[in-house]
Amino acid sequence: MSQKQWIAGINAVSAAIEHDADNVREVLIEAGAKNPRLAEIESNARRAGIDVRRVAGQALDGVAGGLRHQGAVARYAAAKTWGESELQGLVEGAEGRALVLVLDGVQDPHNLGACLRSAAAAGVTVVIIPKDRAVQINATVRKTSAGAADSIPIIPVTNLARSLRELQQLGVWLYGLAGEAEASLYDLDLRGNVGLVLGGEADGLRRLTRENCDQLVKIPMPGGAAEGAAVESLNVSVAAGVTLFEAVRQRSR
């Protein structure tokens, strides 16, 4: 069985049962484990009509493929997916307060998982990722996201620049994060339809992505100057958390 057909970890398995039970085929629980959350997972899975087996820890190690399983893994038939045609409905359903996270070429599954975790906590309307030259939703992403990969809409798109233009036509103002930008994130109004666009770990925003943003902005980092070091950029997952929760702060006024 391919590792991509399994998800591992208490949060990931619990979220899959809660948000996408139709695609969970089987849950394996470590025999003899005393964690009450494992008993809760077993109870919820059985209530949802999902087969549950108690197995030895070594068996879980094998199917988890190196992921820390915490005594729970689940076999997934197919990940819940959202299509590009659903983007308009998601934005319009937010009624003028859409918060969109666009990730341009994130390669590390741990970074993508962390971004999704922040996105779920911030109440993001939809996350957009490219289908090519970027990590997709796999077992590691699901584990790192602590269930967020199953609880928020994620749309992989064929042509990111085209999707950005579609967002603009839907009334979404796009801010791209770039270290060399003059404008500060904290000077923006992030209360309406807003898209926050972040680049990948190595090269940041690609040229076409930059050109299709309405404005490039930066996260001020005075600490770098104080330490005498040139801080070019934050880790993409940290930057995502900073930008998303600035939007949350403004919207909660």
- Annotation: binding site for S-adenosyl-L-methionine: 199, 219, 234
Burial per residue of 92-129, b for 16 or more beta-carbon CB atoms within 10 angstroms, e otherwise:
eebeeebbbbbbbbbebbebbbbbbbbbbebebbbbbb
Taking the C-alpha atoms of residue 218 and residue 39, their distance in angstroms, rounded to an integer, is 46
Nearest to 88 by CA among 172, 161, 150: 172
| Known binding residues | 199, 219, 234
Residue 16 CB burial class (10 angstroms; 0-12, 13-18, ≥19): buried
Name the residue with tokens 């076409």. Answer: 208
Amino acid letter at 209?
Answer: T
Residue 61 CB burial class (10 angstroms; 0-12, 13-18, ≥19): middle
Asked if residue 103 lies in contact with residue 49, where contact means CB atoms within 8 angstroms, the answer is no
